[in-house]
Amino acid sequence: MEQLQQFFQDKTVHTLLDVGTGSGDFITVLKKTFKDAKFTGIDPDKPSLEEAAKIHPDAKFRSMTGERLDFPDSTFDAASISMAMHHLPDVQQTLNEMKRVVKPGGWLIINELFSDNLNPAQEVHKSMHHFRSTVDRLNGVCHNKTFSRAEILEQIEKAGLETCTTFNQNKALVEPSPEEIAERKDKLTEMLGQIKDKPEYHALKKQIPEIEYALQRHGFQMATRVVVIVQVKKD
């Protein structure tokens, strides 16, 4: 992220907490900006943390939720959350916890995909994501539909956080091959099998050929993400 590097080029970050780190994908991105920082990643999913530890043996990983961060106040120079806000049971509590564990004058970095003003290829991604999130919710997993860009900024403002800067990020359009389309269709069908006894099964089943057609017609592009940088101020 070139904009991230430019923003932090004259700022010092020695320690950074990545909330909802999963397999550590965002730590990979952050290392390009914070080359000398020490990273800690947290996530409730232990298999993902095991994968993250293999990719980033120099980082620390702990199993916990964003709503209850087991760190003292003012521990880190910065905290981040990427592509995970829509997975949170309590967005406000998590943002408050991130603010608590960051030092005064430190930073929060929020990277989240949004659901509005998307092109047709990005709408394909949104449809696939919402398909998966619906299956997860039916299985008792907290996985919400994505927020609009305005809703993301509203959540941040509601937490009493003052935005320093925002910018959008896009990935390139992909024109999938017939084999890749078939593979994505198979994954959707596999997910659908998890809820074959649910009343929502048949409605979701109808979405699979619709998504397949949209993939063929428009291709695939990840939904646009907004990156929000906040400086932490404490009373």
Comparing CA positions, the residue from 24, 32, 27, 37 lying closest to residue 5 is 32
Q: How many CA atoms lie within 13 A of 113 on its CB side?
A: 21
- List, in sequence order, every residue forming a beta bridge with 229; answer none if it has no partner: 109, 165
Q: What pLDDT is stored for residue 121 in this prediction?
A: 97
Place of tokens 């940088």: 229
This prediction has a pTM of 0.93
Q: How many domains does the chain have?
A: 1
CATH number of the CATH domain containing 69: 3.40.50.150
Q: What pLDDT is stored for residue 24 in this prediction?
A: 97
Is the predicted pLDDT of residue 10 greater than 90, yes or no?
Answer: yes
Structure tokens at 162: 């003052």
Residues 6+ apart with CB under 8 A from 55: 23, 24, 28
Structural domain that includes position 153 = 2-231
pLDDT band at 234 (very low <50, low <70, confident <90, very high): confident
For the residues 158-164, what does the mean pLDDT come to?
93
For the residues 177-190, what does the mean pLDDT come to?
96
pLDDT digits over 59-102, tens only?
999 999 999 999 999 999 999 999 999 999 999 999 999 999 99
Comparing CA positions, the residue from 92, 97, 93 lying closest to residue 79 is 97
Give the H/E segment covering residue 185: helix 178-192
Q: What pLDDT is stored for residue 56 in this prediction?
A: 98
Q: What pLDDT is stored for residue 1 in this prediction?
A: 83
